[in-house]
Structures are given as structure tokens and as C-alpha cells.
Amino acid sequence: MKDLFDKIYKDKGPLGKWAAHAEGYFVFPKLEGEISNRMKFQGKDVITWSINDYLGLANHPEVRKVDAEAAAEYGSAYPMGARMMSGHTEMHEQLQNELAAFVSKEAAYLLNFGYQGMVSTIDALVAKDDIIVYDVDAHACIIDGVRLHMGKRFTYKHNDVESLEKNLERATKMAEQTGGGILVISEGVFGMRGEQGRLQEIVALKKKFNFRLFVDDAHGFGTLGATGAGAGEEQGVQGDIDVYFATFAKSMASTGAFIAGDQEIIDYLKYNLRSQMFAKSLQMQLVKGALKRLDMLRTMPELKQNLWKIVDALQSGLKERGFDIGTTQSCVTPVYLKGSIPEAMALVKDLRENYGIFCSIVVYPVIPKGLILLRMIPTATHTLEDVRETLDAFDAIRERLQNGTYKRLSAAVMSAMEG
């Protein structure tokens, strides 16, 4: 009989197999210094384009002050226990009420982590006879939530409303047999490529099909819509999103998340969300910190304006210089280049070492083989000078990619790996 660990000794997984050459540099890098547009990587100054601190709140002095005061007042333990048992406070309720009002929903409920909360919300919303229809490029937390579902599920082609419609036809027939309902799940903004979920068109399908819509708006919350309420607000369909989700891990620069919807639905989730019923309540420091951040989202529109000034400068600058930034409709700024994984590694090394630019690199299996995606996250703390320096660096690395410099440099890496 095999030892359980045999497979682990043999195969580290699609990303794990690069660990020996990539860890500490391409994966698990250690960025140092205060969270901002410029930090240190391996002792060198770099412009950081890989932190989801969209509104620049992570290190904002007012936020730091409230976080520190809350830590001094409550420590990191309070309150103890799950919300249902002993971990409930006025302040948790206040935050929920303010979040609900901000995203124009009747009620909201806090989640300790976005990932777990999404998994748990999907689990709580569907029963065995229900059918889930979801975007094939959904975030891992959606995929894991769907995995818990004991009934049928269909994917539709990425952001393809025709494909969604076909799958809704199938799902409707199936639901008539099982006697269940249909849950459609999309993201408000797809975090890798930056397109907005086609929420208006999805919502329009409600005229033809009977389904409920659940939107993960991790990247839309705080960055899109007139008030920052997200992709639903931006597209004028917030009222038609049945369950709205956002994390505190991006615009709010913290930890935690929430779901929002009709009172009766949130009341149900409050009693059925296993990730919250059987886990310690969100600690007070995070709750008080989130109240402060939310207040800043509401009262400081200049944060979002600063963010978009940088987004516009970066995205239009890249396009003017002929870079392929795909179909982004959000702050997420992908730059697609053609090349192998070893070439991508040499290119990123050059960017970091010689140009002081730190951005994330995404390769196969997340995107098709032969493509390199440099994913950039502009924030309100970046400056136009950061954008100019970055654009110049991108011009230089594109030339080196095209003239084969990285192919030559990567040959050494390849032979080391094969060896």
C-alpha cells in the first residue's frame, strides 16, 4: 500500500515545482518597509505595483491612529467566542448597519475572512436540489464553495452572457426536475484581467429565467461606482444583486469581509453560515478599524479620485506605447507579453534589479501557455512620476524580450532546473 505522502514527495504541484528556483523572489517575496508606493525588496528601493491597497488606506495616519487606539483599548482577543455564543457586540452591529447602507442593501453580516465567507455563503444558500451556474474563471473561493454543493452545477464561458443563457436553459430544465432553484455567481471585477462582470446583462436575464444573483465584488468595492459602492453601482444594477459580497482585504486595507442583501436573507445566513457560527468573532480592532475606513470611503472622495488619476495615466500610457492591456474595465492593469516561464522570470528579475519596478507575474496554468501577464495594481499613493518611470522601464524590457535577451538569460535557469 502507498504511503499517503508518496505523491507529495514526487510532485509538488504546478506552482510548487518551481519553488527551489522561485521562492523568496518570484513567490513568497519579502517586501519591506511601510506599505506604500515605494518599498524595499532585497535591500533595493522598488515602486510597488502589487499591493491591493487601492485607496492608500493601509498606511494612512488617521487609519493607523484608530488601529493603534483600538489595539490599546481591546487587545487582539476581544470579543471571545463565536458571534452566536459570546462574541457579539454593538460595534459589530453598527459596522454591519453602516456597510449595508453604503452598498444600498437592507442588511449586512460580517465575515472573518473573505475566502472562507464566500465558501460558506455559497454552502448556506444552496440545498441539494438547487443548481449553481457560475463563471468558469471564478476566484478560487467561489470554486471551493461550489465544491461543497451536493447538487448540480454548470460553468458558463468567462463573462459570456450567451453561454450563461444556454446554461440557464439547461439549469432551468434540471431545476424543474429536482424542484430546486438556481444560483448564478459572478465577480464584480475579475481580479486577474480586470474586466467587470457583465452584471447588467446578467440581471437582464432575470426577465427570462428565475434565478438569484450572488456577486463577489472584492475588487469593485471602494473603487467603482459614484460613491464607491462597487460594480453593481457602476453598472446601475446594485438593486438586482441578491447577495453582495466584498472583502476588507483590498480597498479597506484590512482583514475581514461582509455580505449584504435583503433583511430576511441576511437573517437566514446569520443562523446558517458555518464559517461564522463555528469560528471566533471578528476582533474589535478590525471592527473599529473598518468603521474608520468606511467613514473615509464615504467622506473622502479624493481617495478614489487620486486612485483613478493613476489608473488612467498608467493604462493610457501603456496603450499609447502599444502594450496589450487586454479588456480591463477596472483598476486592475494587466500587461500581456509573449514568452515562456523562464523568460518571464528573467524579465521580472531585470525589472526588479535594474529598473526598481515590483509587479506580480502570472504564468501558466493561471493564463494560457506562452503568455506572460504582468499584473499591476495602481493605488491612490502612487504618483505620476511612478507611472512615468514604470512606462519607461516597460519600454526597455519589451525591447529586451523581443531581441531575445531574456531567452539567453533564461537558458541558464532552464539548464539548472533540468539538472
Ligand X SMILES: Cc1ncc(COP(=O)(O)O)c(C=O)c1O
Contact residues for ligand X, defined by CB under 6 A: 113-115, 118, 139, 141, 187, 191, 216, 218, 247, 249, 257
Cis peptide before 342 (omega within 30 of 0): no
- DSSP for 272-294, please give it: H-HHHHTSPPPPHHHHHHHHHHH
CB of 139 to ligand X, least distance (A): 4
User: 385: how many CB neighbours lie within 10 A of its CB?
Assistant: 10
CB of 309 to ligand X, least distance (A): 24
> Measuring CA to CA, how many Å separate 3 from each of 8, 17, 201, 222, 377?
10, 20, 50, 48, 43
Closer residue to ligand X in complex, CB, 154/221:
221
CB of 108 to ligand X, least distance (A): 15
> Measuring CA to CA, how many Å separate 41 from each of 237, 326, 353, 356?
42, 28, 9, 9
Closer residue to ligand X in complex, CB, 330/410:
330
Closer residue to ligand X in complex, CB, 53/187:
187
Task: Give Cα 176 to chain centroid, integer Å.
Answer: 34
Closer residue to ligand X in complex, CB, 257/335:
257
Closer residue to ligand X in complex, CB, 118/393:
118
The residue sitting closest to ligand X, measured at its beta carbon, is 114
- Sign, Cα dihedral of 344, 346, 352, 357: negative
CB of 370 to ligand X, least distance (A): 25
- Sign, Cα dihedral of 370, 371, 374, 377: negative
CB of 261 to ligand X, least distance (A): 17
CB of 35 to ligand X, least distance (A): 15
CB of 112 to ligand X, least distance (A): 9
Instruction: Find the angle CA(104)-CA(110)-CA(114) to the nearest 5 degrees.
Output: 100
Instruction: Find the angle CA(19)-CA(20)-CA(22) to the nearest 5 degrees.
Output: 60
Among residues 212, 201, 222, which one has the least CA distance to residue 57?
A: 222
Reported as half-sphere exposure (CB side, CA atoms, 13 A), residue 177 has a value of 8
Closer residue to ligand X in complex, CB, 5/28:
28
Closer residue to ligand X in complex, CB, 120/340:
120
